[in-house]
Structure 1
Amino acid sequence: MLTLSPPWLTFDLGQPMQILSFAPHNGGLVEARRILWREVRNADLSEDLDAIAWLEAQLEDREATDAVCFLTSRRLDAHRSATATEDGVTATAVVTAGLSNAERIGTRLPQTWMQPAKDWGTINIALRLSCPLGQTALIEALSLVAEARTAAVLEARTDLPTGRATGTGTDCIAVAVPKGCAAFAGKHTAAGHALGRAAYEATLAAVKDWQRDAEGW
């Protein structure tokens, strides 16, 4: 269930799950019931601010330090979601996307190239999978979400001086699944099929929405 209450977006997973992520709060492999987004503006994050400590304090005030949490400057009502089911396995992806600090993998643009005061763009993806996975399969699932993200960004065709964008410099992904022992979640499995489609569709929709909004810069 999704709840939007700016500056927060909450993805309630319905039960405690194992979550693998590289989110700024509670990253790594943890058990949690919620994945949150905290909307920020550049004015909130000065150069001398410890953003991780600031986020933790915000979560303490909300009594939500147990959650996995993203930071985004994208307005939260622009989040997009998609659900896909394959052979009884259901995946739900929730995405916020901005490409103002887009990069092409293996290259790095100078910070002076970024749009003024719009350099905190990121793609944040939370994906919930209905079927239990073991830790090895969970790592594979996260890699497929990253592949789906990249495929969607490539299709959206954002060209940079270094080539076509494949993501941003600050993307984050979190994948939540029930604990289990399944060893594989590749493209030939129902889990890989469902999560790949959900992540791709939600990311493409979110990126295209951002592109339409960005035309007004």
Structure 2
Amino acid sequence: MKIDCAQPWLCADLEAEHEILSWCPYRPGFQRAQRILWREVRNADLTADFDVERWLEGELRSKNALDTVCFLTSRDVRRHHYRHVSIEDASVEVLATVGLGNAEAVGRRLNPYRGPGTINIAAQVHGALSEAARIEALSIIASARTAAIMDAGIDLPTGRATGTGTDCIALATRTDAPSFAFAGMHTALGEALGRAVREAVHEGALTAQENLHVQIAKRTHHRS
């Protein structure tokens, strides 16, 4: 993975076409691409009548990047966090941006609030995965993300934060014949993926907490 950051863009170049499974705002679902991008946007731009999808497509067109998969974040993209973990025959790279302005405790929502951030995670597996392994890998990424945020100890009026209301994950795998049939926590792949995500997101959570207490106070006041 080659990383390039030139605000407002952050790019993870996978150096070859990969199969990417995500719920990114641009080209979600099953796609093929070599690059995963982040586009930083200001909170002030996200008005009720702002057509985010059309705007983002226009931005990507101007960058000649319509063949990518793209996250959207109001987190400063210069504050990104990377990990590369290899265990046995499994090697993974993770790039994440972590904003906590709309942090939530799963199962109990605070009132909607667009703070500076979501948690966006791009994970590259150096291998091809079966369909079952890809689904399992997504669950490992989500679990590691949740553990990392809980490790950070962010308490909300609704309970301990487990993520944000707009978290997004992109899983990139090679396009050749599957080399990993499973990706659970008992496997080397699951261990490597979980460790890389947990470490990157936890580091990001610690750097994002500097403004969090002010944002939570505003949300609590709005809720009451």
Band the TM-score falls in, shorter-chain normalisation: over 0.9
The corresponding residue for 2:188 is 190
The corresponding residue for 2:156 is 160
Displacement of 1:212 in angstroms is 3.2
Alignment of structure 1 residues 34-53 onto 2, 5 Å = 34-53=35-54
Displacement of 1:216 in angstroms is 7.8
Distance 1:80 1:3 in 2: 12
Displacement of 1:191 in angstroms is 1.1
The corresponding residue for 1:14 is 15
The corresponding residue for 2:222 is none
Displacement of 1:88 in angstroms is 2.9
How many residues in Structure 1 have an aligned counterpart in Structure 2? 212
Code of the residue aligned with 1:205 in structure 2: it is: E
Displacement of 1:71 in angstroms is 0.6
Superposition RMSD in Å: 1.5
The corresponding residue for 1:142 is 138
Displacement of 1:121 in angstroms is 1.9
Displacement of 1:119 in angstroms is 2.1
Once the two structures are overlaid, the 10-residue window that deviates more, 135-144 or 1-10, is 135-144
Displacement of 1:26 in angstroms is 0.9
Distance 2:53 2:137 in 1: 26
Does the 8 Å contact 1:2/1:11 carry over to 2?
yes
Displacement of 1:40 in angstroms is 0.6
Code of the residue aligned with 1:207 in structure 2: it is: A
Secondary structure, aligned partner of 1:76 = coil
The corresponding residue for 1:23 is 24
Secondary structure, aligned partner of 1:100 = coil
Q: Percent identity at matched positions?
A: 48
Displacement of 1:4 in angstroms is 0.6
The corresponding residue for 2:220 is none
What TM-score do you get using the length of structure 1 for normalisation? Answer: 0.93
The corresponding residue for 2:221 is none
The answer as to 2:200 corresponding to 1:199 is no
**5+ residue gaps in structure 1?**
none
Give deviations 1:15-47, integer Å, cap 9, x for gaps. 000011111011101111000000010122221
Secondary structure, aligned partner of 1:43 = helix
Distance 2:214 2:142 in 1: 29
Displacement of 1:215 in angstroms is 6.2
Does the 8 Å contact 1:123/1:171 carry over to 2?
yes
Displacement of 1:213 in angstroms is 5.0
Runs of 4+ off more than 6 Å: none
Displacement of 1:110 in angstroms is 1.6
Code of the residue aligned with 1:143 in structure 2: it is: S
Does the 8 Å contact 1:131/1:191 carry over to 2?
no
Distance 2:88 2:63 in 1: 38
